[in-house]
Amino acid sequence: MDELYHCGLNGYPMLIMSNVEKSIYRHVIAALVTNEPGVLAQVASMFAARGFNIDSLVVGRTENPELSRMTIVVNGDDATLEQVRKQLQKLIAVVRIVDYLDAAFVERDLMLVQVSSAGENGPATHRTQILELANIFRAQIVDVSTDQLMIKMSGTEEKIEGFIDMIKPFGIIEMARTGVIAMSRGNATIARKAKAQSTVSPQAMPPAIDPGDLPPG
């Protein structure tokens, strides 16, 4: 909360705590960057140097071989998001930035998890229960051994976290997650394309293409 000072009795300042609190949001940001060595290190170093907390960062190829796509999940208030945008735009390799806070979008996270099926009555005591849970959450069994199962699951972070809570009692042996990738629903509107044009870094040297026609718009 913000601290305010008010003149009290006998002219001495009196501390008053305001009720203004910063709202923390989960921001999903997509950044198109030039496909060249060292770009990921530049972005990660920028976040680390300024104390921004990255919840997830995923980078991969796009349909354009000259561009890569980064999907970054950041938790913070509006001021933090604005600083993230400004700092990303200063990087030469960044071509375009899109924040999905006010847009309809689809996001997915991918997880592989090894779950123990052993119990008091044998090495496969809980196998049936784990299989039933996997079916309910539409997960897939990709490997089976005498006392454990490997499960593949994709979905939103909330869905995956819910599945993890359900299988924890059986014993999670090992888990790996890719992080969030996201894409806006439908075609880009004219307004969103115009906004994308205004957020292109002036220092960037993108390929000879229209940034407004690129994903994730």
- Give per-residue pLDDT as tens, 69-101: 999 888 878 788 888 888 888 888 888 888 887
Rounded to an integer, the average pLDDT of 1-23 is 49
Q: What are the φ and ψ backbone dihedral angles of 46, each rounded to 5 degrees?
A: -60, -45
Percent of the chain with pLDDT over 90: 35
- pTM, 2 dp: 0.67
DSSP string, 43-104: HHHHHHHTT--EEEEEEEE-SSTTEEEEEEEEEE-HHHHHHHHHHHHHSTTEEEEEE-TTS-
Q: Report the alpha-carbon distance of residue 124 to residue 145 in Å, rounded.
A: 9
Q: Report the alpha-carbon distance of residue 153 to residue 130 in Å, rounded.
A: 13
- Per-residue HEC secondary structure of 13-59 comes to EEEEECCCCCCCEEEEEEEEEECCCCHHHHHHHHHHHCCCCEEEEEE
- Is residue 200's pLDDT more than 60? no
Rounded to an integer, the average pLDDT of 184-203 is 53
- Give per-residue pLDDT as tens, 141-160: 999 999 999 999 999 999 99
Q: What is the pLDDT of residue 121?
A: 87
Sheet of 25-34, strand order: 54-61, 67-76, 25-34, 94-99
User: What domains lie within the chain, and their CATH numbers?
Assistant: 25-103+185-212 (3.30.70.260), 107-180 (3.30.70.1150)
Q: Report the alpha-carbon distance of residue 130 to residue 127 in Å, rounded.
A: 5
* C-alpha R_g of the chain: 23
Q: Which residue has the higher pLDDT, 158 or 11?
A: 158
| 8 A C-beta contact, residue 89 and residue 32 | no
- Give per-residue pLDDT as tens, 166-190: 999 999 999 999 999 998 887 654 4
Closest alpha carbon to 134 in 109, 177, 164: 164
Q: Which residue has the higher pLDDT, 101 or 54?
A: 54
Rounded to an integer, the average pLDDT of 94-109 is 85
Q: What are the φ and ψ backbone dihedral angles of 6, each rounded to 5 degrees?
A: -130, 145
Q: What is the pLDDT of residue 165?
A: 96
Q: What is the pLDDT of residue 10?
A: 52
Which of the residue ranges 14-23, 128-137, 200-209 has the most confident prediction, judged by mean pLDDT? 128-137
- Is residue 104's pLDDT more than 50? yes
